């Protein structure tokens, strides 16, 4: 691919292109800003891409694929890795036969997230190598590298992106993607993959041995490089912060780290020794600065106020100047809102009018918290509406407990709500409970991705469909109602009152396809019917 042409790609697109060029056999994940476009692009390129019900399942599927010798990639946003943390930690022990790249797309500044967690900590906690690209070219190159490192040391690799890397479009020249993958084949490795304590103990030691080897290799890795400059100021940085640094301090010498765990400690020590003042510039937690200090290298780090939010060229200039004066307040724009005519509006109007205590969840409908509805009392993580609602019901005095409702979207319900319903059936509160599934037949918030409840695959082709009514009844919850909230708002109101009064376990499925996708859904259905007819005709 020496004559490859230059393309303008987002970081997400670049990751997908590299995975495709290296013959990744499977891409799986759960949609989440800013990671979503990786799998969509991988699918468009012709790769085998799938949405999983949640990130834990995605990582497990990818791990299984990597056990066969194949190359697999699992994508998710930062909070998704919390869900997938369980397989991640032990996958570090089992290792892989092919390649497993776990993409964590962090969201400093919370453009579209509920927290600002810094997933670099996961690399250390689980013991997996971590690469941090700073633009789309590196997103491409580092994905190739991640696959190579994963195969060489038979270990999962964390590719840590951030919003500005995922969603900035920058020039990419695709490089040589070699070697091709080996054909998948099952080779039994009971001691390597069955993590009973007797086999896990040596596996834990093997993992540390691998990390020690990788660290030694990383000391001379081309993924970490020095940009020579004035020795009065040395800056150690990684990811998008590198770009801000080059612009804010064009004459400084810079150690740009691309491979940040296990850290190239001696390289850092030598760089710091050569600079009169050495400063770490990083977004989020002072993770890098603390890791560097822990090995006895003296570096300055940013003041605490810069832990929060994204960095930028002006903020890096302030850090360099030690400026801790209050920053100019950002000018508030127009907040987002539920679309005019959105069926969620009717639901939140009803919840507001009935003065319900609403345990909410993650999706477009979280906007029900804003005026004029202000009908949401908690929003924590995917699926939490049901567990939190039950907890409220268990301990509130009965007159308050009777007003508690859990509200969850269709995709979120499949992701993490089902186990909440199992809990409800198993440990019912004395006053019963009411769960509202807002089924708009898509994952709307992240840009209308399919999920197991839509009956269509990532590429919008027909597949098995989870029928919520059947699933709920199967759990032994007899009171299941389905209603169109915009078609019958009064009926919805009545049903809510009846359900709350019943003091039983009730699930109401408020179903109306998202206005923005209704036309598309009809197209998909038409295409599916056509295919069926063609098959029957054959």
Partner 1 sequence: MKNGVTNVIVAGLGGQGVLKASGIVADTMFRAGLDVKQSELHGMSQRGGSVSSDVRFGREVFSPMVPTGEADFLVVVAPDQIEVNRHQLRPGGVLITPDAVPADKLSNKRSINIALLGVLSRHLEIPEECWLEAIRAAFPEKLHAANQQAFALGRNGA
By CB under 8 A, residue 135 contacts partner 1: yes
Which of 274, 192, 285, 193 is closest to 241 using CA atoms?
Answer: 285
Determine, following the binding rule CB under 8 A, whether residue 314 of this chain makes contact with partner 1.
yes
Q: In this chain, which of 78, 244, 403, 433 binds partner 1, going by CB under 8 A?
A: 244
- Does residue 267 interact with partner 1 by CB under 8 A? no
Measured from the CB of residue 289, what is the shortest distance to partner 1 in angstroms? 21
Tell whether residue 338 is a contact of partner 1 (CB under 8 A): yes
Q: Which residues contact 310 (CB under 8 A, 6 or more apart)?
A: 108, 109, 163, 164, 240, 283
* φ, ψ of residue 72 in degrees (nearest 5): -135, 150
* Residue 484 in tokens: 């169109």
List the one residue from 25, 38, 101, 367 that touches partner 1 (CB under 8 A).
367
Of the candidate residues 270, 339, 381, 528, the single one contacting partner 1 (CB under 8 A): 339
Q: At its nearest, how many Å lie between partner 1 and the CB of residue 233?
A: 17
Question: Please, what is the minimum distance in Å from the beta carbon of residue 210 to partner 1?
Answer: 35
If binding is defined by CB under 8 A, does position 332 make contact with partner 1?
A: yes
Q: Cα–Cα distance between 420 and 443 in angstroms, integer?
A: 19
The reply on whether position 328 binds partner 1 by CB under 8 A is yes
Q: How far is the CB of 10 from partner 1 (least distance, A)?
A: 9
Binding map of partner 1 across residues 63-92, x = CB under 8 A, - = no contact: ------------------------------
Question: Per CB under 8 A, which of residues 22..41 are in contact with partner 1?
Answer: 33-34
Query: Can you tell me which of 222, 335, 341, 397 binds partner 1, judged by CB under 8 A?
Result: 335
Restricted to residues 445-464, the positions that interact with partner 1 (CB under 8 A) are 445-447
Cα end-to-end distance, the chain, whole Å: 42
Q: Which of 41, 119, 301, 312 binds partner 1 (CB under 8 A)?
A: 312
Nearest partner of 35 among 158, 217, 179, 150, judged by Cα? 158
Compute φ and ψ for 75, nearest 5 degrees.
-120, 145
Based on the shown chain and the rule CB under 8 A, indicate whether residue 221 belongs to the binding site for partner 1: no
- Return the range that interacts with partner 1 (CB under 8 A); candidates 145-153, 275-283, 291-299, 337-345: 337-345
Q: Which is nearer to partner 1, 447 or 489 (CB)?
A: 447
CA pair distance 80, 102, nearest whole angstrom: 11
Please check whether residue 22 is in contact with residue 40, taking contact to mean a CB–CB distance below 8 angstroms: no
User: Strand 259-261 to strand 130-131: parallel, antiparallel, or no bridges (unpaired)?
Assistant: antiparallel
For partner 1, the binding residue among 5, 276, 298, 334 (CB under 8 A) is 334
3-state secondary structure of 478: coil
Interatomic CA distance for residues 118 and 103, integer angstroms:
13
Cα separations in angstroms, 494 against 351, 355, 498: 12, 14, 6
Q: Is 31 left (phi over 0), alpha (psi -120 to 50) or beta?
A: beta
CB of residue 312 vs partner 1: minimum separation in angstroms? 5
Which range, of 16-24, 236-244, 251-259, 286-294, touches partner 1 by CB under 8 A? Answer: 236-244
Q: Does 318 bind partner 1 (CB under 8 A)?
A: no
Nearest distance, CB of residue 314 and partner 1, angstroms: 5
Distance of alpha carbon 514 from alpha carbon 155, whole angstroms: 41
Q: Which of 71, 210, 246, 433 binds partner 1 (CB under 8 A)?
A: 246
Do 375 and 348 contact (CB within 8 A), yes or no? yes
Question: Which stretches of 61-195 are assigned E, i.e. beta strand?
Answer: 71-77, 99-106, 130-131, 157-162, 169-172
Residue 137 is a binding residue for partner 1 (CB under 8 A): no
Helix (H) or strand (E) holding 74: strand 71-77
Alpha carbon 428 to chain centroid, angstroms: 32
In this chain, which stretch among 206-214, 442-450, 473-481, 495-503 interacts with partner 1, using CB under 8 A? 442-450
What contacts 190, CB < 8 A, 6 or more positions away? 199
CA dist 400 and 390 (Å) reads 13
Angle at 174 between CA 168 and CA 176, to 5 degrees: 145
Q: Which stretch binds partner 1 (CB under 8 A): 98-106, 239-247, 380-388, 430-438?
A: 239-247
- Bridge partners (DSSP) of residue 230 are 252
Q: Which of 247, 353, 461, 525 binds partner 1 (CB under 8 A)?
A: 247
Site for partner 1 in 155-214 (CB under 8 A): 163-164, 167-171
* 263 vs 281, beta carbon nearer partner 1: 281
> What is the closest distance, in whole angstroms, from the C-beta atom of residue 361 to partner 1 in the complex?
15
Which of 139, 147, 157, 243 touches partner 1 (CB under 8 A)? 243
Burial code of 292-308, b = ≥16 C-beta within 10 A, e = fewer?
beeeebebbbbeeebbe
Task: List interacting residues with partner 1 (CB under 8 A).
Answer: 6, 8, 33-34, 111-113, 135, 163-164, 167-171, 240, 243-244, 246-247, 312-314, 328, 331-339, 364, 367, 445-447
């Amino acid at each position: 691919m020496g004559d490859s042409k230059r393309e303008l790609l987002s970081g997400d697109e670049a990751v997908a292109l590299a995975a495709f060029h290296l013959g990744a056999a499977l891409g799986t994940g759960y949609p989440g800003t800013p990671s979503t476009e990786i799998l969509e692009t991988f699918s468009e390129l012709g790769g085998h891409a799938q949405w999983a019900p949640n990130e834990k399942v995605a990582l497990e599927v990818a791990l299984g694929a990597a056990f066969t010798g194949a190359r697999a990639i699992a994508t998710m946003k930062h909070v998704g890795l919390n869900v997938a943390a369980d397989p991640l930690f032990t996958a570090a022990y089992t290792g892989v036969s092919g390649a497993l790249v776990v993409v964590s797309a962090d969201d400093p500044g919370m453009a579209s997230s509920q927290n600002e967690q810094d997933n670099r900590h996961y690399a250390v906690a689980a013991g997996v190598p971590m690469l941090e690209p700073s633009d789309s070219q590196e997103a491409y190159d580092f994905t190739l590298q991640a696959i190579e490192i994963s195969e060489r040391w038979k270990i999962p690799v964390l590719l840590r992106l951030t919003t500005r890397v995922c969603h900035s479009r920058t020039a990419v020249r695709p490089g040589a993607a070699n070697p091709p993958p080996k054909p998948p084949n099952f080779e039994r490795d009971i001691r390597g993959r069955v993590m009973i304590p007797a086999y896990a103990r040596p596996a834990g030691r093997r993992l540390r041995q691998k990390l020690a080897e990788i660290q030694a290799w990383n000391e001379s890795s081309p993924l970490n490089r020095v940009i020579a400059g004035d020795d009065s100021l040395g800056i150690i940085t990684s990811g998008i912060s590198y770009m801000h640094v080059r612009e804010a301090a064009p004459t400084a010498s810079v150690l740009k780290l691309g491979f940040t765990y296990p850290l190239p400690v001696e390289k850092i020590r030598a760089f710091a020794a050569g600079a009169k003042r050495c400063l770490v510039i990083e977004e989020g937690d002072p993770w890098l600065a603390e890791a560097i200090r822990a090995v006895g290298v003296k570096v300055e780090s940013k003041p605490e106020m810069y832990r929060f939010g994204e960095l930028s060229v002006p903020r890096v200039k302030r850090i360099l100047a030690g400026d801790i004066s209050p920053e100019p307040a950002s000018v508030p724009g127009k907040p987002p809102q539920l679309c005019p005519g959105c069926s969620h509006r009717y639901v939140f109007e009803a919840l507001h009018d009935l003065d319900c205590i609403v345990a909410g969840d993650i999706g477009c409908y979280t906007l029900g918290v804003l005026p004029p509805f202000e009908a949401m009392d908690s929003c924590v993580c995917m699926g939490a509406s049901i567990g939190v609602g039950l907890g409220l019901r268990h301990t509130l005095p009965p007159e308050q407990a009777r007003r508690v409702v859990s509200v969850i979207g269709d995709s979120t319900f499949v992701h993490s709500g089902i186990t909440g319903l199992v809990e409800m059936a198993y440990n019912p509160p004395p006053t019963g409970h009411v769960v509202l599934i807002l089924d708009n037949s898509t994952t709307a918030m992240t840009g209308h991705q399919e999920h197991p409840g839509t009956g269509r695959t990532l590429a919008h082709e027909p597949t098995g469909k989870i029928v919520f009514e059947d699933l709920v009844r199967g759990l032994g919850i007899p009171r299941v109602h389905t209603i169109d909230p915009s078609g019958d708002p009064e009926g919805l109101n009545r049903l809510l009152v009846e359900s709350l009064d019943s003091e039983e376990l009730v699930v109401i499925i408020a179903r109306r396809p998202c206005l923005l996708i209704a036309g598309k859904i009809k197209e998909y259905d038409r295409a599916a019917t056509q295919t069926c007819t063609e098959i029957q005709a054959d």
